[in-house]
């Protein structure tokens, strides 16, 4: 039997690397399958609440997020799934550069940004704070990714044994998960402040209740995915860097889609519900779901436990679909 030119240690490392890559592929396929399954489950709601309504920034972001992400994941499955027998150097470089742009321009933070704006009512200090945080998040993430690409671009190549495009990961690349995590923590903290102020009254206000509930779920998903990725990139070997990355992207996409569709599904209830003034403040509520997503609620009332029927306001001359109620 001829002796192999490779040492036993090298063969053991290659076996471990192949096992790790296959594990990443399996988790990516699971995430992609769940994403497509959720798209099928919510397609009827998408047609009713998105395609049949007027276009707005939230609608455009929803559609971009909903349909670009599956395309990116499909290309990634082709690249990382060992399907390709050969990929050119140009394809590998373009693939990594494209995925980096997706990470930088990821819109999941924008949804929480709009929800917090809606709950707080756009006071100047909130606008300045959130815009400054978003700009810092964008510039920091872009800087980390560009530094990683410039320092490790020469390592991009097609690995014929694993049939994947391979790139040596920069040791500081895990830091790209820190800025969005900090931004999400601040946004969630601002959301909690208003949730505690609203207290038990959110149960009688479906739209505001959905904003609080889905905002908390959105933060939980983002936080878990970001921390999992950070730990994996810091502690795990380089062959496991994609273990949770693409699964996390799929789950975040599902969460964002559900958040927007849940808000849109409140449209019918929002026209007949009772709006309750919270302790220590009133509520300025835009009945239109578009306005709730982008407009705002402001706690400014003087009295407690006052109620106003939306239909009564409509009979008084206000449009129930676009009115602003000031208490």
DSSP character string of 256-325: HHHHHHHHHHTHHHHTT-EEEPPTT----EE-SHHHHHHS------SSSS-EEEHHHHHHTT--TTT-EE
pLDDT tens, per residue, the chain with 327 residues: 455 566 777 777 777 877 887 888 888 889 899 999 999 999 998 998 888 888 877 788 888 888 888 888 888 787 776 676 666 666 676 666 666 655 555 556 666 777 777 677 778 888 888 889 888 988 888 888 888 878 877 777 777 766 777 777 778 878 888 888 888 888 888 888 877 776 655 556 666 777 778 888 888 888 888 888 888 888 888 778 777 778 888 888 888 888 888 878 876 455 544 444 343 334 444 444 444 433 344 444 333 333 333 333 333 333 333 333 332
Residue 165 CA to residue 95 CA, distance in Å, equals 9
**CA-CA distances (angstroms) from residue 33 to 47, 255, 261?**
21, 15, 20
Q: What pLDDT does 63 receive?
A: 87
Q: Give pLDDT, residue 187.
A: 86
- DSSP states of 113-155 as a string? HHHHHHHHT--HHHHHHHHHHHHHHHHHHHHHHHHHHHHHGGG
Closest CA to 256 of 225, 218, 209, 212: 218
pLDDT value at residue 41: 94
pTM for the model stands at: 0.70
Determine the pLDDT at residue 28. 85
Integer CA distances (angstroms), 224 to 181, 185, 287, in order: 10, 12, 33
User: Is the CB of residue 239 less than 8 Å from the CB of residue 17?
Assistant: yes
* Domains observed in the chain: 12-270 (1.20.1070), 274-325 (no CATH)
């Amino acid at each position: 039997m001829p002796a192999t030119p490779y040492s036993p240690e090298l063969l053991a490392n290659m076996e471990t690397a192949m096992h790790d890559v296959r594990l990443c592929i399996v988790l990516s396929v699971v995430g992609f399958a769940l994403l497509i399954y959720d798209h099928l489950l919510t397609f009827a709601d998408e047609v009713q609440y998105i395609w049949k309504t007027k276009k707005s920034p939230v609608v455009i972001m929803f559609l971009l997020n909903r349909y670009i992400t599956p395309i990116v994941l499909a290309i990634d499955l082709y690249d990382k799934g060992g399907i390709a027998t050969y990929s050119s150097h140009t394809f590998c470089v373009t693939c990594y550069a494209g995925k980096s742009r997706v990470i930088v321009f990821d819109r999941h933070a924008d949804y929480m940004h709009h929800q917090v704006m809606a709950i707080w009512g756009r006071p100047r200090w909130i606008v300045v704070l959130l815009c400054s945080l978003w700009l810092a998040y964008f510039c920091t993430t872009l800087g980390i990714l560009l530094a990683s690409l410039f320092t490790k671009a020469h390592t991009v190549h097609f690995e014929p044994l694993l049939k994947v495009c391979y790139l040596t990961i920069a040791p500081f690349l895990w830091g790209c998960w820190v800025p969005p995590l900090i931004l999400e923590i601040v946004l969630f903290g601002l959301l909690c402040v208003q949730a505690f102020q609203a207290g038990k009254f959110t149960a009688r206000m479906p739209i505001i209740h959905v904003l609080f509930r889905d905002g908390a779920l959105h933060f939980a998903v983002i936080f878990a995915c970001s921390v999992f990725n950070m730990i994996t990139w810091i502690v795990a070997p380089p062959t496991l860097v994609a273990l949770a990355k693409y699964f996390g992207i799929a789950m975040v996409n599902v969460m964002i889609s559900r958040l927007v569709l849940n808000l849109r599904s409140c449209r019918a209830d929002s026209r007949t519900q009772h709006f309750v003034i919270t302790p220590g403040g009133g509520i300025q509520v835009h009945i239109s779901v578009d306005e709730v997503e982008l407009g705002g609620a402001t706690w400014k009332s003087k009295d407690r436990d006052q109620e106003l029927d939306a239909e009564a306001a409509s009979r008084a001359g206000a449009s129930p679909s676009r009115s602003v109620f000031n208490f």
